[in-house]
Amino acid sequence: MKKIIAALSISILILTHSAFAANKTFIKEYNYLASDLDSKVSSRVIALEQVKRALLEELGTYLISETRVKDFQLTKDQITTLTAGIVSAQIIDEKWDGRSYYLKAKISADPDQVAKSVDSLRNDVRKTRELEDAKKKADDAMREVERLKEELALAKADTNRQGEYIHAVNKLSAFDWLNKAHKFFQADAYQDAIDAYSKAIELDPKNWHAYHSRGIAYHVSGKYQQAIADFTKVIALDPKNVSGYTLRGDAYEELGNYEQVVKDYTKVIELDPKDPTPLHARALAYLNLGKYQQAIDDYTKLIDLNPKEWSWYEFRSNAYKEFGKYQEAIDDYTKVIELHPEKINTYITRGNAFIDLGKYQQAIDDYTRVIELHPKDESTYVSAYMRRGNVFQYYLYDIQRAIDDYTKAIELHPKDKYRYASAYADRGRAYNHLDDYEPAIADFTKQIELYPKQAYGYVSRGLVYEKWGKAEQATADFKTAARLGDKMAQKVLKTRGIAWE
């Protein structure tokens, strides 16, 4: 790039920061001699942009020579681009005498920490692309400033060109505000980031990157309508912007507007048909809309794109199950087990589908397989005993085997309080089926101890007391349940003319 200044004075110092032994301080000076076209503001913008570039280039050279950045296989320009999103220049001194703008600035940073940040940032495709695009816009603006300055030197009275020059300088200033906003965002200072992005938009209202980034800041702040407005502006400025449609779809999802989610992701799929992510997102939106066949169709397309990806079969199986197509769901669960045998919980979900088909022995076989594999995940292990016990009790009426399974689940003492209470409740019902009242009462009492503010335990225990002929205890439990809001208990007591308040 040709120089756009009449006089340039640069001095470089690389110092060890006095307060932090690991820090390095890079200092540069820049003196911009203004033309007749420049104001104090435009002169400062250009001087600041030039001194920041010089600082970042010097930092990049140091990182390549002294840190592990040299192993990252990045060009110096790429390193400079990435470090612009990591470090900030601090102005030490600046002066304007009406003809020249002097600016002195520094960057202080721990090179090893910067190297770590570069390593992390280079793996963030979206952020890297964002920084690269912003850098390109700044370079374009600098070239435009230079070109217009040369042309205007020959045609000073051309007011249109003067306006173009001011606009090009504003673009440079917008780039500076974008960098400030990015750093605010990284520090989780989202409102400050939004304010800085808004300033960049004010200076360069056709810069879709600024709307895009402000939309993200609005989104993480929970301001979804504002985010949607910004992503809509991104799309207006760049109708083929995949990210604009994607992020707007995400914001609509947060608002529960799944119809719009489908529309936006359909556009993303049209623009980038080989990316599986939007197909998955659209399928989830279809599920939320109860459009199970459309969800199944999307997952089928995903499977066609990658037949070895087990998760697509799992998602499709869940859609089949919601759609009432249990055999198709079972077939997909079986494929998941084939592709990912370590995912033991799939036997549980396939067993549940077998129950929906009335194939109880196959369900028991799946739950038994989980028990045999003895998964490290406690909840899966306990769930297998609980579900097998439920099949024995509620479908096969093999009550003793059900009791044995519930007892095993209780012995495992699951950390999940709800599951623990459920094991006692189910075993209590099993004992009640056998007219074995004392252990049934004991189990429901344990359930009540775990959840004393829930009516269900009192109702269950009251029914056992009543069946046992202990009317007084039954009435006491029904009253407690009624006070907790249980409609059945209230109806029973009302029928018997008994008050519960």
| 253/395 Cα distance (integer angstroms) | 40
Judge whether 317 and 325 are in contact, CB under 8 Å. Answer: no
Statement: residue 13 has pLDDT above 80? no
Residues 14, 108, single domain; the answer is yes
Residues 143, 116, single domain; the answer is no
Instruction: Please indicate, yes or no, if residue 338 is contained in any of the structural domains.
Output: no
Judge whether 72 and 119 are in contact, CB under 8 Å. Answer: yes
| 501/493 Cα distance (integer angstroms) | 11
CATH of residue 351 = 1.25.40.10
Residues 70, 167, single domain; the answer is no
Residues 264, 137, single domain; the answer is yes
Question: What six digits make up the tokens of 487?
Answer: 């409609």
Question: What six digits make up the tokens of 338?
Answer: 């084939």
What SS3 class is residue 435?
coil
Residues 204, 289, single domain; the answer is no
Task: Report phi then psi at 396, rounded to 5.
Answer: -105, -10
Question: What six digits make up the tokens of 343?
Answer: 């995912």
Location of structure tokens 């690269």: 132
- From 11-25, 251-265, 322-336, 346-360, the region with the lowest mean pLDDT: 11-25
Residues 131, 246, single domain; the answer is yes
Residues 114, 182, single domain; the answer is no
What SS3 class is residue 100?
strand
* pLDDT score at 34: 84
Question: What six digits make up the tokens of 134?
Answer: 């912003």
Instruction: Please indicate, yes or no, if residue 339 is contained in any of the structural domains.
Output: no
Instruction: Please indicate, yes or no, if residue 94 is contained in any of the structural domains.
Output: yes
Residue 36: which pLDDT band, with cuts at 50, 70 and 90?
confident
Residues 167, 217, single domain; the answer is yes
Amino acid at 226: Q
Residue 10: which pLDDT band, with cuts at 50, 70 and 90?
very low
Q: How many domains does the chain have?
A: 5
Domain that holds residue 465: 453-501
Instruction: Please indicate, yes or no, if residue 336 is contained in any of the structural domains.
Output: no
What SS3 class is residue 342?
coil
Judge whether 146 and 1 are in contact, CB under 8 Å. Answer: yes
Residues 36, 106, single domain; the answer is yes
pLDDT digits (tens, 9 = 90+) for 431-466: 999 999 999 999 999 999 999 999 999 999 999 999
Instruction: Please indicate, yes or no, if residue 57 is contained in any of the structural domains.
Output: yes
Residues 43, 157, single domain; the answer is no
The CA–CA distances, whole Å, from 426 to 467, 474, 498 equal 17, 19, 29
Instruction: Please indicate, yes or no, if residue 337 is contained in any of the structural domains.
Output: no
Residues 164, 183, single domain; the answer is yes
Residues 144, 115, single domain; the answer is no
The CA–CA distances, whole Å, from 353 to 251, 329, 367, 451 equal 34, 7, 12, 30
Torsion angle (degrees, nearest 10) of CA 94, 95, 100, 101: 20
Question: Nearest to residue 125, comparing CAs of 247, 243, 16?
Answer: 243
- H helices present in 238-359, as ranges: 242-254, 258-271, 276-288, 292-305, 310-322, 326-339, 345-356
Residue that terminates a domain, selected from 436, 466, 485: 436
Instruction: Please indicate, yes or no, if residue 69 is contained in any of the structural domains.
Output: yes
Instruction: Please indicate, yes or no, if residue 171 is contained in any of the structural domains.
Output: yes
Residue 158: which pLDDT band, with cuts at 50, 70 and 90?
low
* Residues linked to residue 31 through DSSP beta bridges, in sequence order: 102
Residue 358: which pLDDT band, with cuts at 50, 70 and 90?
very high
Rg (alpha carbons) of the chain, rounded to whole number: 34
What SS3 class is residue 344?
coil
